[in-house]
Amino acid sequence: DAMVIQNPRYQVTQFGKPVTLSCSQTLNHNVMYWYQQKSSQAPKLLFHYYDKDFNNEADTPDNFQSRRPNTSFCFLDIRSPGLGDAAMYLCATSRDHWAKNYEQYFGPGTRLTVT
């Protein structure tokens, strides 16, 4: 059974048109992460939630926002997508922080295309 679910799997949006990607988890994990992965590159952390505490990476563009209304769901909002935002967006969860050796479970990703 899927543990980290991302919807949609493929999303096409127009330049400048807001878009929301969603992630849900059945693991009841405290931490949820959003990564951006461009072709042939390593995933890049955008932000993460430890429970309700939001942690934004310093180089994450202001264009990217996130919401976590409850333990199970987390959303990535891109307010005004540019062509450079086309990428795979990966959601991940872990029971606790990475330094504590907890497994990080990734969703299948949402492939975002900006036209």
Partner 1 sequence: KNQVEQSPQSLIILEGKNCTLQCNYTVSPFSNLRWYKQDTGRGPVSLTIMTFSENTKSNGRYTATLDADTKQSSLHITASQLSDSASYICVVSEAGNTPLVFGKGTRLSVIA
Name the site residues for partner 1 (rule: CB under 8 A).
Answer: 4, 6, 40-45, 57, 88, 90-92, 97-99, 101, 103-109, 111
Q: How near is the Cβ of 48 to partner 1 at its closest, in Å?
A: 8
Contacts of 41 (CB under 8 A, 6+ apart): none
Quote the CA–CA distance of 96 and 101 in Å, as a whole number: 8
26 or 80: whose CB is closer to partner 1?
Answer: 26
Q: How near is the Cβ of 101 to partner 1 at its closest, in Å?
A: 5
Q: In what order do the strands lie in the sheet with 4-7?
A: 4-7, 19-25, 73-78, 64-67
Q: How near is the Cβ of 41 to partner 1 at its closest, in Å?
A: 6
